[in-house]
Each structure stands twice: as C-alpha cells, then as structure tokens.
Amino acid sequence: MGRLPDRTGPGRGVGVIPRRPCDPGPPGGHTPRDPRHPARDPPAPGREERPAVPDTPADGVERRLPTDEARELLALVRDIARREILPSAAAEEAAGHFPRELFALLSRSGLLGLPYDPAYGGGGQPYEVYLQVLEELAAARLTVGLGVSVHTLSCHALAGFGTEEQRAAHLPAMLGGGLLGAYCLSEPSAGSDAAALRTRAVREDDGWTIDGTKAWITHGGIADFCTVMARTGGPGARGITAFLVPGDAPGLEADPPERKMGMSGSPTAQLRFDGVRVPDARRLGGEGQGFAIALDALDSGRLGIAACAVGLAQAALDAAVGHARERRRFGRPIADFQGLRFLLADMATQVEAGRALYLEAARLRDGGRPFGRCAAMAKLFCTDAAMRVTTDAVQVLGGYGYTADFPVERFLREAKMLQIVEGTNQIQRVVIARHLVGPESR
C-alpha cells in the first residue's frame, strides 16, 4: 500500500491542514446566530429554551483500521470535518451553496484520490479505509461525502481502463490538482435502463462529435471533467463507448440545477452536448466497452453511497441520543423511557449492521474477490437503514425534529436521495436476485 502523498503545501505534512478562517455561512454575510448549532436560532423572548443537539462527527465510532497511516488519515479527516465542514454545513445547505473552496482543501490534503495508484498522485488506500473516510465526511455534511464519492467514481474509467499515456496525462490533475469530476451515464429516458441511452458519438477525422443530453448529473455545470458514456454503435449495451470530456468543452452546456427536496448544496443538472468535439485520445477503453466500464464503476460507486448512508445515519443517531439524554419530561430524562430506549437501540443496530456490511464488501474488493452482489446488498441495506434511522431521529426529537432549527429533518430529506442514486434500491434487488437465481426468463 502506497503512502498518502503530501499535497498540503511546502513544509506541511499530510496531517496538517492549511489554516484559513472557518466560514460560518455562505457568501452574502449570513452568520448563524447560535454558535452551538449552525442551523439553530436562539429562542424568542418568553419562549422555552430548546435543548442543544450535538452536531459533530462520530468520534465515538470504534474503527478497526489496518495501519497507523490509516489511523492518522481518519484523525485528519475528523479534524477537517470539525473545523472546516460542520460550522457552515446547515447554513450553506439552506442557501444552496456548494463548497468548492472546501473541495480544493480536500484535494490539497490528498483526499480526492485515496483509492488510486500513488504513481499518479493517488493515496494508495484500500477501499476498507477510503469508505470510512467517506463515512466521516458524510456524517459532517452529505454534500461533501457524496461529492467525494462521485468524484472518485468519475476517475474510475481512466484509472482502470485508460492507457498508460492517458493516465500519465490526466490522472495527476484529477486526483490531486484541485479538479472536480462528474459521471455522465443517466439520461432523461435512460435511468435504470442505462443501456438504452441515446447520446451519440460519431467518429470524424481523428476524433468524435458528441450530441445528446445527460440527466441527474451531480456537479453538473461546475465539474472540470466528465466521464461520458455515449453510443458509438448499434442499440444495446455493446454499442456504448466511454469518453473523458473537459468540463469547458465548446458545445457543452448545463441547465439550471434541479430543485430538490434535499441536498440543495450539491448541484444536480442536465448536461447538453451539442456538437462537442473530443479527440480519439480521450476515448477510454475500446469501442463498445463503455457499458462494461460503467457497470464496473458502479459496483465500486455503490459502496461509496453505502458508506455515505451510514455516515448520515450515524449523525442522526448521535443527534437523537444527545437529545434523549438532555431532554427532561415527567422529572427525568426522556432517555429513561423504555419505548424511546428501544427505538434508539434499533437505530444503533441498523447503523452498526450497515457499517459491517459495507466493510465486508470493501474487504472482498480489496482482496481481488467478486464483490458485486455484496456491493448491491450494502447499497440497499445501508440506504434503507439511513431512511429508517433519520425518520426515527425526527420522532425522538418530536416537534423540534420537524423544524429546520435542528438538523434531523435535513438528514431525513437527504436520506431519501440515497435510495435513488447510483441504481435505485429496486435495481439493487434485481442485481442481488440475479446473483442468486440467474437472469430473468425472456
């Protein structure tokens, strides 16, 4: 396993974060008024003081990490989460602000290329470690954890299927040069049925011209590069090829971001390709290999979503436990009541089970063993668990949980998205069943 590269600047080690003032809110000068919780306003005169809810990364999570380097890495991530992510998370989500400056910090700290080869600027970390980093980031703010997962997914095709010349030319900037990626597979009429995509790439001279529309693209409109699946041959999966397209390519335009029920800080948009020219040197893999490349990437990407779901669920559990300990009714903490204690116990069990499942899939992957079935199980279970845990966290907080003064309602809205992205949970069941009993009869 390679060492995590030092990209924190001259004279700085990997465990040192470049100092900059924490921005408590989005551009425009809004500062949350209660320093204990960025989403919480102080009570109005005469109104009951509300109990504080901890909104911190899961420092109490017991992690079994393979090396001292991995332990130092997780400590660095938790420090970044505490000092750079949490203070502004609620306000920036409310304002729909994407923290591009934070992703630059993550890049300088070596966190945007963790599972890739150090020869190209990656961190050389196993998935067992990388996914726990994602979990910590998502516990602090899902926009950040999911953004790192999508960026890593966007680098997969080049890292796994590109030529040596392509990797040397592009990967160092993608992994550690401050760039941000987008993964372009889905289309308005090709979501779960991705093999039906219509975006077409036509060979012209020494390159390709791409025309079509991609939908539901995370980082759409702000990405520096896009991994794009386009049709170069006939219908079906074997007619698809992968391309690496610059984000500023002439003819590539983004629609306004979708108005979503959650994840407002993470832009999701349609991308329109109108005569976008791409040299053949940016074709990844062979012609007709694109769909296989896409599925290979999604197996790993689903593990990223599972880890993010566990991080979100852990944050909701922490908020619920903190509230139950502090909130008093009938002369004692509400944590004394058996009905609530059982609810918290069930929540904690789901979080731990989800973590164990995604780590088992990661270890299979790291050991070079088939992991697609386990990855689908992890994505399915962890995201369903996140939905249940965040819903129960709202219940624990009662009326307070339903207000934007506390983070758990935001967690609930964000959890719903995780059941949809990178293959809906219905599709995960299809994948699992095919592993068990084979493909459906035609």
- Positions annotated as catalytic residues are 422
Fill in the amino acid letter for 88: S
**3-class DSSP state for residue 269?**
strand
How many angstroms from the chain centroid is the CA of residue 89?
A: 15
The kind and range of the H/E element at 352 are: helix 338-366
Cα–Cα distance measured from residue 380 to residue 407, given in angstroms and rounded to the nearest whole number: 24
Cα–Cα distance measured from residue 409 to residue 415, given in angstroms and rounded to the nearest whole number: 10
Query: Can you give the length of the chain in residues?
Result: 442
DSSP string, 107-141: HHTT-SSTTS-GGGT-----HHHHHHHHHHHHHH-
Structure tokens at 388: 């249940």
Q: Strands, E, within 358-442: which ranges?
A: none
Q: Which of 313, 264, 294, 270 is nearest to 419 (CA)?
A: 313
Q: Strands, E, within 305-384: which ranges?
A: 328-329, 332-333
Fill in the amino acid letter for 76: L
Cα–Cα distance measured from residue 276 to residue 250, given in angstroms and rounded to the nearest whole number: 6
Q: Is the Cβ–Cβ distance between 132 and 307 less than 8 Å?
A: yes
Q: Is the Cβ–Cβ distance between 177 and 107 less than 8 Å?
A: yes
Q: Is the Cβ–Cβ distance between 203 and 224 less than 8 Å?
A: no
Cα–Cα distance measured from residue 200 to residue 209, given in angstroms and rounded to the nearest whole number: 8
Q: Is the Cβ–Cβ distance between 216 and 424 less than 8 Å?
A: no
Q: Which of 112, 90, 113, 88 is nearest to 20 (CA)?
A: 88
- Residue 212 phi/psi, 5-degree rounding, is 150, -175
**Residues 423, 142, 319, 110: is their CA dihedral positive or negative?**
positive
